[in-house]
Structure 1
Amino acid sequence: MQNLPTFIFVHGAFANSFSFAPLQAELALLGHRSLAVDLPGHGFQATFPAAYQAPQDLGALASEPGGIKGVTLADNAAHLIEVLERAKQHGPVILVGHSRGGVTITAAGNARPDLIDRICYVSAWCPVDLDVSGYYAEPEMAEVDHGALAPALAGNPAELGLLRINFRTADPAALTAFRHAFAADLGDDEFRTFLNTFQPDENLDAGTSADRAQAASWGRIPKSYVRLADDASIPPAMQDRMIREADALTPDNPFDVRTLEGSHLRWLVHPKPAAELLANLAAV
């Protein structure tokens, strides 16, 4: 048992550990152990305002405080490092981040590369030449609907100190935007089910230039990038750009690149191909 790796999964924005349950089940059936992290203010630590429940009070929803206010990327990384320290006592660790979770795993890799035996990005932000906000202004993101969340925005982020999205909206325009951005290839029930795992609040700190991948520390970790071929949220062109930048940063330790078909969320809803791919990584 000592040599079996533990997969540690880090979720993206508005998500939580619940997202990974089907994938963890598939991995368990392949003989692999795993755990999914809830970053601070996520999972059962999340705030679900009373006004979020039906019938919704949109006015109150726009102003009710949320517990994730003030949570930073440094908080996320510190929490993840505590998990890594405990998991590392039992053998190798494969750290897997999805979407915005890539920023957190990069920060952990910068700080404690000794705790990570392989770092894996699944259509996740891997900031190298720019921070995440900078990448959003680049040509590879030109076809992304930057306003996908806007129709369901609740409150003023500057006043709330957090980003709040009404994922329980019935607004057809908002639901269509969500579907296109995250899950165009899922069935209606699958899409609505996943939407109901999201929490309404997310912190505002996605990192700065100081949180980009560092060659001297992060760059020592064996690394994989799993491209999602039909992702409309982080398009393949942007995924490929981050891979190229990382390879230029650490030419002696390039990304091992794999590809899965599907949207930003399909790999979590239909996880068997992803589980098989990750199990293969464990043998690398």
Structure 2
Amino acid sequence: MQPTFVLVHGAFANSFSFAPLQAELGLLGHRSVAVDLPGHGFQATFTRAYQAPQDPGGLATAPGSIKGVTLADNAAHLIGILERAKRNGPVILLAHSRGGVTATAAANARPDLIDRIVYVSAWCPVDLDVNDYYAQPEMATVDLTALASVLAGNPAELGLLRVNFRTANPEVLAALKAAFFADGTDEQFLTFLNTFQPDENLDVGSSADRAEAATWGRIPKTYIRLADDTSLPLALQDRLIREGDALTPDNPYDVRTLASSHLKWLADPAPAARVLADLATLPGPSAPA
């Protein structure tokens, strides 16, 4: 039976990011569901202050629907979707970037709903909390100043992260492109930037949300490395793979690699779709002894 791919987006993104990939998967004969986590997609807040001409003061203070959303909320929402998808057969759960934290939390709680979990340059914390990885040597090359320069408002006061992706500052735009989409054209980058939403929730989990050997660890897992990713560097991706393999040495990652920045694989999805189609033919989890 053909599996259903359940696709989980990263920070500031939404289900719209996966439209080109879903088209490719459909043309290869595979069904897929792109998830909008709580406060994303049509549940997102696009305040009038975000429209042109922008109102910086209003943008910095307007409330957002994602305030108070937690990792537990994201995981519960995803589990509900996995339960529905599982009624139709095997499920392959794919997560990109920050979406990996939600996928890991869901896998910790309900491994019975997932026949394979796939991380695409995604966070799967094992030894550390997500925020603590940023102080590690593997993240030393990451420059967060561009993102910080378009931060709108005080996250502690807003109760959320808000970024002004509609900036027209050429230096900031160049820095963001270098960080996330260096291998794409300027037009592709700006198009992708306009699919982003300004708000993201603050909760990326704690030690209680790291991968658990007894549950997450029994699911067959794949890590798709993005070789040209400078926002989640290859060194950090490889560290996450090593940590996952050390946690469950009898169930190591199936590792694949794509030549892509953090976002280009979504804008040019045919190579990724071919990898996923191949994963659909791999065996699922063994029955419990």
Same fold (TM over 0.5): yes
Match of 2:152?
Answer: 154
Distance 1:232 1:51 in 2: 31
Kindly state the Cα deviation for residue 148 of structure 1 after the two structures are TM-superposed.
2.7
Kindly state the Cα deviation for residue 262 of structure 1 after the two structures are TM-superposed.
1.1
Match of 2:287?
Answer: none
* SS of equivalent residue, structure 1 residue 148: helix
Distance 2:70 2:172 in 1: 28
Kindly state the Cα deviation for residue 276 of structure 1 after the two structures are TM-superposed.
0.3
Deviations for 1:216-258, whole angstroms, at most 9, x for unmatched residues? 0000000000000000010000000000000000000000000
Match of 1:73?
Answer: 71
Kindly state the Cα deviation for residue 131 of structure 1 after the two structures are TM-superposed.
1.1
Q: 1:123 aligns with which of 114, 121, 124?
A: 121
Deviations for 1:141-163, whole angstroms, at most 9, x for unmatched residues? 00000223111110000000000
Alignment of structure 1 residues 2-21 onto 2, 5 Å = 3-21=1-19
How high is the TM-score relative to the length of structure 1? Answer: 0.99
Q: 2:241 aligns with which of 240, 243, 255?
A: 243
* SS of equivalent residue, structure 1 residue 149: helix
Match of 1:255?
Answer: 253
* SS of equivalent residue, structure 1 residue 47: coil
Letter of the 1:212 counterpart? R
Q: 1:216 aligns with which of 206, 214, 217?
A: 214
Q: Does 1:177 align with 2:162?
A: no
Match of 1:165?
Answer: 163
* SS of equivalent residue, structure 1 residue 124: coil
Distance 2:107 2:29 in 1: 26
Alignment of structure 1 residues 97-136 onto 2, 5 Å = 97-136=95-134
Deviations for 1:184-205, whole angstroms, at most 9, x for unmatched residues? 1110110000000000000000
Distance 1:176 1:126 in 2: 29
Match of 1:31?
Answer: 29
Kindly state the Cα deviation for residue 178 of structure 1 after the two structures are TM-superposed.
1.1
Distance 1:111 1:147 in 2: 36
Which stretch shows the higher mean deviation, 232-241 or 165-174? 165-174
Match of 1:234?
Answer: 232
Letter of the 2:163 counterpart? I
Kindly state the Cα deviation for residue 128 of structure 1 after the two structures are TM-superposed.
0.3
Kindly state the Cα deviation for residue 110 of structure 1 after the two structures are TM-superposed.
0.1
Letter of the 1:233 counterpart? S
How high is the TM-score relative to the length of structure 2? Answer: 0.97
Letter of the 1:238 counterpart? L
* Ranges in structure 2 where 5+ consecutive residues have no aligned partner: 283-289
* Ranges in structure 1 where 5+ consecutive residues have no aligned partner: none
Distance 2:46 2:5 in 1: 29
Q: 2:200 aligns with which of 188, 199, 202?
A: 202
Match of 1:96?
Answer: 94
Matched-pair identity in %: 76
Query: 1:151, 1:173 within 8 Å by CA — same for their partners in 2?
Result: no
Distance 2:153 2:171 in 1: 18
Letter of the 1:198 counterpart? F
Distance 1:135 1:159 in 2: 25
Distance 2:126 2:146 in 1: 25
Letter of the 1:158 counterpart? A
Q: 1:142 aligns with which of 136, 140, 143?
A: 140
Letter of the 2:178 counterpart? H
* SS of equivalent residue, structure 1 residue 119: strand
